[in-house]
Structure 1
Amino acid sequence: MMDLTKTPRRIALGLEGSANKLGIGVILHSGPSLSSSSATVLSNIRHTFVSPPGTGFLPKDTAAHHRSFFVRIAKQALAAADVSISEMDCICYTKGPGMGAPLTSVAVAARTLALLWDKPLVGVNHCVGHIEMGRAITGASHPVVLYVSGGNTQVIAYAEQRYRIFGEALDIAVGNCLDRFARTLKIPNDPAPGYNIEQLAKQGGRVLLDLPYTVKGMDCSFSGILTRADELAAMMEKGTGKGPDGEPFTPADLCFSLQETIFAMLVEITERAMAHVGSNQVLIVGGVGCNERLQEMMGAMAKDRGGSVYATDERFCIDNGIMIAHAGLLAYETGFRTPIEESTCTQRFRTDEVLVKWRK
């Protein structure tokens, strides 16, 4: 076991299950105070529910997956962390946003452990978890945050102890758009549909197909581009789809065109937010943030502005338990607790609802 006598240390267990990934992690904060604290990842275990190609993941099936694997993943996380239950300060769980049934299954497990081990609970906003994990890993000090995932698309900046939303998707999230198009093309969901679209897009680029580009201020819309991409896929299937050069286009060309158009929209609204708040840093978080092409396009924009882009790899971009443990422990260190009778979850939990007391 770890020697906790030399420096003040606080340890949290984080439980994430807002979508198709069950993540459990243990984090350690060490240091005499919150402002001088450093974070150490002790374990970060994840298991993904993968549905057949051409399908999405239903809430009831995803919740059943989380219930089935919870004990196994929790034991692995605790064993990898090499800490005892007595050393644990709190249990942090995703309160929302996310899919109702999976969120509930993990919240029930969190309550069970809190009662079983007599530990305080901390309900965490999923989006804030992504942001704080990204800041901790990259060292970004005051960035504009582009949060892009299967369920969320937001441009965010910190001000007066809140993560303020400057722009967002007006309909479906960018990750949801990519996932649904993957179903249209029957692209496998393993390891992730968005990742497989990214790999296919690298084989395209012969033509850039005309797709709807919808940006309204710092907001954007993805339903129209998805509808048109689906129409082009149907034309391709019938053999009637032709590119600007009159030649038939391929699934790779479709994936390339979809990515280029969507990511250009994201770069535009992010740049507008940077100009508004006077920041030259961009932090990309969320599962779609792993996309190398998005990082490349955002990097070119930031470079033109004399700035830089910060992003993490799939260990921390994709939903995970350690981000919930980290954000939860930050809140715990400011005195925040979630009473058992209030340890519910909600599918709609806005990023800007959270009081960020740990930042000045």
Structure 2
Amino acid sequence: MVIALGLEGSANKLGIGIMKDGKVLSNCRKTYITPPGEGFLPKETAEHHRQNVTKVLKDAIDQSGVKPSEIDVICYTKGPGMGAPLASVAVVARTIAQLWNKPLLGVNHCIGHIEMGRLITGAANPTVLYVSGGNTQIIAYSRERYRIFGETIDIAVGNCLDRFARVLKLSNDPSPGYNIEQMAKKGKKYIQLPYCVKGMDVSFSGILTFMEERAEKFLKDGYTPEDLCFSLQETIFAMLVETTERALAHCNSQEVLIVGGVGCNERLQEMMKQMCDERGAKLFATDERFCIDNGVMIAQAGAEMFSSGTKMKWEDCFITQRYRTDEVKVTWRND
């Protein structure tokens, strides 16, 4: 029976959670929200994490009903992510590991999403679409690695949505992507936008530039902000569905799992489900508790690593902003 505590702080969400043998005991989160039209910078985000981490940690332990002495392993996000926020949370992980005399494991952020998604949905061996503010990848497991079959060649899909939200001065509460999703539901007129799929990869920077340069003109021409949100969503999600379908066919898979913050988007889930239904495949997705960055996903992946005998030397307990999904040897799966 493994009890794992996970700390996540790779972007603007600070999350701490505790897992016990696949059961969520606590899942506490605090989000750094900036004023409308502004993104979050590494320095201020790290400061937010430092100011709130002790309270979130106390809440997670109190809610779980577990004493520090009962915890088997401390897990933290090693990367990828923003350097300063990652480092601020890693310091806390190293400190409590030493104070409580517990082993420490650095977890790949993406693999945290995948393992939590597999646990919550029951997906066995899915083709994974990982979509968030900082990452866009299509992944499938093969020979002890999560292999990347396709990805963005420039900015992530969530970053594209967030930056377009700044153009329209949308609120960042609870998130820019969520507010775009709500506006898109009221959009009526579709604008033809650049569609950029290159083999298995996608590109979003050109679409963003196209929208940034022409948004004012579109609004003057009678299109509403809702129409712009609708058109952007439909275009970029169609690109993601196309590349995921190609990976699904290539891997001869019958399951698709959507993970990451953008994975909460109901329109993306709807479009992906339609593709899966046409192919006789099954779609798996989670809600905002587990899609959006959280501590329990780090705890769950860390618990899997710990149970399979993975150990980490103290000198390896650093962070790395660029930590590829396929760098990690998956010791806990033998399918």
* TM-score, length-scaled by structure 2: 0.99
The answer to whether the aligner puts 1:322 opposite 2:296 as a matched pair is: yes
Most deviating of 225-234 and 98-107: 225-234
Q: Which has the larger radius of gyration?
A: 1
Which residue of structure 2 lines up, in the alignment, with residue 224 of structure 1? 206
AA paired with 1:212?
P
Is 1:120 paired with 2:94?
Answer: no
> How far off is 1:340 after superposition?
2.2
- Please state whether the residue corresponding to 1:93 is helix, strand or coil: strand
Q: CA deviation at 1:22?
A: 0.2
The partner residue of 1:54 within 37, 55, 75 is 37
2:122 maps to 1:139: yes
**Of 236, 239, 264, which residue of structure 1 is paired with 2:238?**
264
Q: Does 1:251 align with 2:261?
A: no
Q: CA deviation at 1:189?
A: 0.2
Distance in 1 of aligned mates of 2:279 and 2:214: 36
What does 1:185-204 correspond to in 2, within 5 Å? 185-204=168-187
Q: Secondary structure at the match of 2:5?
A: strand
Equivalent residues, number:
334
| SS of residue matched to 1:337 | coil
| Matches of 1:323 and 1:66, distance apart in 2 | 18
Q: For residue 244 of structure 2, what is the amino acid of its counterpart?
A: T
SS in 2 for 1:295: helix
Whole-Å separation in 1 of the counterparts to 2:321 and 2:81 = 5
CA distance in structure 1 between the partners assigned to 2:60 and 2:148 by the alignment = 33
3-state DSSP of counterpart to 1:269: helix
2:47 matches 1:87: no
Displacement after TM superposition at 1:339 (Å): 2.2
Q: Distance in 1 between matches of 2:81 and 2:2?
A: 28
Q: In the TM superposition, what is the alpha-carbon distance from 1:156 to its structure 2 partner?
A: 0.3
1:275 aligns with 2:249: yes
CA distance in 2, matches of 1:289, 1:358: 25
Secondary structure of the residue that 2:147 maps to in structure 1?
strand
User: Matches of 1:335 and 1:94 in 2, distance apart?
Assistant: 19
Kindly state the Cα deviation for residue 109 of structure 1 after the two structures are TM-superposed.
0.5
Cα deviation, 1:261-317, whole Å, max 9, x if unaligned, reads 000000000000000010121000000000000000000000000111100000000
Q: Check if 1:96 corresponds to 2:79.
A: yes
Return the offset for 1:231: 2.0
Q: Distance in 1 between matches of 2:270 and 2:294?
A: 24
In the alignment, structure 1 residue 344 sits paired with structure 2 residue 318? yes
* Cα deviation digits, residues 217-245 of structure 1 (max 9, x gap): 110000011011112212145x2x3xxxx
Verify: 1:210 aligned to 2:210, yes or no. no
1:305 aligns with 2:279: yes
In the alignment, residue 18 of structure 1 is paired with which amino acid?
S
Question: Partners of 1:110 and 1:142 in 2: how far apart?
Answer: 31
1:168 is aligned with what amino acid? Answer: E
Shift of 1:329: 0.8
Amino acid at match of 1:26: I
Residues 1:235 and 2:217 are matched in the alignment: yes
How big is the shift at 1:44?
0.2
Deviation at 1:49, TM superposition (A): 0.1
Aligned to 1:3: none
Partner of 2:139: 156
Take 1:41 and 1:155, find their aligned partners in 2: how far apart are those partners? 27
Equivalent-residue separation in structure 2 for 1:296 and 1:43 (angstroms): 30
Shift of 1:336: 1.2
Is 1:359 the counterpart of 2:333 in the alignment? yes
Q: Unpaired segments of 5 or more residues in structure 2? A: none
Question: Is 1:334 the counterpart of 2:317 in the alignment?
Answer: no
Letter in 1 for 2:245: E
Residue of 7, 16, 20 corresponding to 1:28: 20
Given candidates 3, 12, 15, the residue that maps to 1:11 is 3
Instruction: Give the aligned residue type for 1:113.
Output: I
C-alpha separation in 1, matches of 2:333 and 2:19: 19
Shift of the alpha carbon at 1:146? 0.2
Give secondary structure in 2 for the equivalent of 1:146. strand
> What amino acid sits opposite 1:11 in the alignment?
I
Q: Give the deviation of 1:18 after TM superposition.
A: 0.1
Taking the aligned partners of 2:311 and 2:210, their CA distance within structure 1 comes to 47
Match of 1:36 in 2: none
Q: Which residue type is aligned with residue 283 of structure 2?
A: V
Aligned equivalent of 1:165: 148
How far, CA to CA, are the matches of 2:275 and 2:256 in structure 1?
Answer: 10
Match of 1:4 in 2: none
